[in-house]
A = this chain, B = another copy of it.
């Protein structure tokens, strides 16, 4: 069997993290990851069960870093919202892997997702439904922006201002 918790596994994790940041989700292939470690792709499977394990790990890191960024932001809704956007745009690949591909719930630490969700809920108030709407608003804005769905002459700063006013 494989050693799924040795030091090489840690190297794989950081290499995957760097590779994701540099090349994005599409560039994150097992062979590219192996290359970075001067290893052949099949050898990765001595340390990792499958690619989803790597993806899940990155999703977890994304959620953690994202949560930390929001927590560090100012207390106002406005500051939190702007931080949401800022973080997503500064970490598009990390944002993408956590939110634009299916979240591997079974393989990320339990409670992580709930923790982030709870934090977002705190931004708005105590009503979960309202909070989800606000979250959707921010996610939608960021997602459409990253996907390039807005025309490039769109005034997104102003759009966010309007969005925050809606909250």
- Chain A residues in contact with chain B, CB under 8 A? 99-100, 102-103, 117, 127-130, 132-133, 135-141, 143-144, 147-151, 154-156, 158-163, 166-167
CA distance A151 to B135 in the complex (A): 13
| Contact of B162 with A130 in the complex, beta carbons under 8 Å | yes
Q: Which of B129, B141, B162 contacts A159 (CB 8 A)?
A: B129
Please determine whether A158 and B129 come into contact, CB atoms closer than 8 angstroms: yes
Is B100 within 8 A of A148, CB to CB? no
Contact B147 A103 (CB under 8 A): yes
Interchain CB contact (< 8 A) of A166 among B100, B144, B167: B167
Give chain B nearest CB distance to A105 CB in angstroms: 9
